[in-house]
Structure 1
Amino acid sequence: MLNGGNKETNDRVPPGQTLTEGFPVLHYGSVPYYHDMSKWDLKIFGLVEEELTFTFDEFMALPRREFKNDIHCVTTWSKLDNVWEGVSVATLMEKVKLKPEAKYVMFHAEHGWTTNLPIEDFLLDTTFLGIKHNGEPLTPEHGYPVRTVVPHLYFWKSAKWLRGIEFMEKDKPGFWERNGYHMYGDPWKEQRYDFD
């Protein structure tokens, strides 16, 4: 059993993972710090009938709800029983009309960081845009002001510092995928790297 956990807990922890009580910080490059939120926006673009841009105030005014999940990092840690506050993808998509050929999503974050996702995974009711974690606003290190949360995949797919959501017809690799990470990243299949 993992860390002396019980069977129910172990059923929630994918192969090769170790439980943590903390919330490790892992990223490439520097952490963006925002001092003037009037300069922050979120763009929705690509294969949509009309591109949208949310200002910080417009995004923060969207209806929010609570989400509970477990998260699993490709670097082998898992954190159970996370409580988030965020905007559901369904709420966001009420404002977006997709073109029928849209099959994939690319998340665009600060510093040119990107990661890809099939549209089916983006549209799941478990995927959301997180604003708070365990009752507190996200810290800059964890993606303030908004990060994507895709809990059924390794956590690099949950892009921090989100600035854009692009809808695409064909899949293409994001930053980590171009650097050897798996195109999909299912923790239960240990899809860590492109040869997994």
Structure 2
Amino acid sequence: MKWFLGKKSTPIEKRPDGRDRLPPGQHLTRKWPVLTFESTPSSLPSDWRFRVSGLVENPLELTWEEFLQLPHTTVTADFHCVTLWSRYNNTWEGIHIREILQRVRPLPEAQYVMAHCWTGYTTNIPLTALDDDDVLIALKHDGKPLTPEHGGPVRLIVPKLYGYKSAKWLDGFEFMEHDKPGFWETRGYHNSGDPWKEERYW
């Protein structure tokens, strides 16, 4: 079995866990399509704060300048959109999620996280999915600052899930004991969003 990109074909690549690198139903693109329900904000709000609340030992609130002072890291990962396209080898630069988790120290009963955005968008993620090696809060993509249409200047990246879980225009997390759906999840998108299970819609 092969996948096709243009006129060339290449055997399907495998992930370290044995699953196909390209999830079922997806096609590869070298472009980076823009898909957003909300109006794209022109800039970061002047009163932006990164806030972490809920079931944590140390609630957190940082200004933009304080947020930028956190240690930065780089992650290269594939991106899979629920609308059937995937883009390989995206290089993201930003703050690793564990820089946040180490500071706030989630309580044992915290099992889920709601990502909040200054546009009002929300998306829910199990803490076990958020706390992973390739998850970060991105400030750059492929060496350039994130543009507003792609969630800039700050967005969440969770490569193992469909892109609607990688919230654009991020401004915080809420740690919860019980799961509850976010913006798209209440509108029919799957609550989990695993591309390899094709969890697109309820």
1:14 aligns with 2:15: no
SS at match of 1:67: strand
Q: Which residue of 1 aligns with 2:98?
A: 90
Q: Which residue of 2 aligns with 1:148?
A: 156
CA contact (8 A) 1:48 1:99 kept: yes
CA contact (8 A) 1:107 1:164 kept: yes
1:23 aligns with 2:28: no
1:131 aligns with 2:139: yes
Quote how far apart the aligned CAs of 1:183 are: 0.5
TM-score (norm 1): 0.94
Quote how far apart the aligned CAs of 1:29 are: 1.8
Quote how far apart the aligned CAs of 1:8 are: 4.2
Aligned mates of 2:81, 2:162 — CA distance in 1: 5
Aligned mates of 1:52, 1:92 — CA distance in 2: 9
Aligned mates of 1:5, 1:81 — CA distance in 2: 18
Q: Which residue of 2 aligns with 1:185?
A: 193
Q: Which amino acid aligns with 1:135?
A: G
Quote how far apart the aligned CAs of 1:140 are: 0.2
Cα RMSD between the aligned structures? 1.4
Q: Which runs of 5+ in 1 are unaligned?
A: none
Q: Which residue of 2 aligns with 1:2?
A: 3
Structure with greater helix share of residues: 1
Q: Which runs of 5+ in 2 are unaligned?
A: 15-19
CA contact (8 A) 1:38 1:56 kept: no
Quote how far apart the aligned CAs of 1:38 are: 4.2
CA contact (8 A) 1:130 1:149 kept: yes
- How many residue pairs align between the two structures? 193
Aligned mates of 1:136, 1:107 — CA distance in 2: 24
TM-score (norm 2): 0.91
